[in-house]
Amino acid sequence: MTGPGPITDVDAQQVVVVAVDGAWRLATLTRWRRLPSGSRVAHIRWSRAPQDPVGGWAWVQHDRERLMPLAREALDAVGLI
């Protein structure tokens, strides 16, 4: 990524619930990044399977519609329990 201003990365290890291709999945959040614009993105991994069409990882913009901390309310809201 390029652009004006500093880009701040923070390592993290947190289990989250993430929307991938219209379905909710459990994933591991491995890194937070604050962009020069001030918005935050998270690096997440939901699969290490070689047959996964998008590689099993992505940078996701921090948004409660796409990324939620793992908690009973989040699992219930997305139908995983």
What is the strand order of the sheet 23-34 is part of? 57-61, 40-45, 23-34, 8-20, 67-69
Query: Does residue 64 register a pLDDT over 50?
Result: yes
Give yes or no for residue 1 having a pLDDT over 50: no
Q: CA end-to-end span of the chain, whole Å?
A: 37
CA dist 61 and 1 (Å) reads: 14
Distance from C-alpha of 66 to C-alpha of 25, rounded to nearest angstrom: 10
For residues 16 and 23, give the distance between their C-alpha atoms in angstroms, rounded to a whole number.
14
Reported as a single tens digit per residue, the pLDDT across 7-63 is: 678 888 888 888 877 878 888 889 888 888 888 888 888 877 766 656 788 888 877
- State CA 55 to chain mean position distance: 14
pTM of the complete model: 0.67
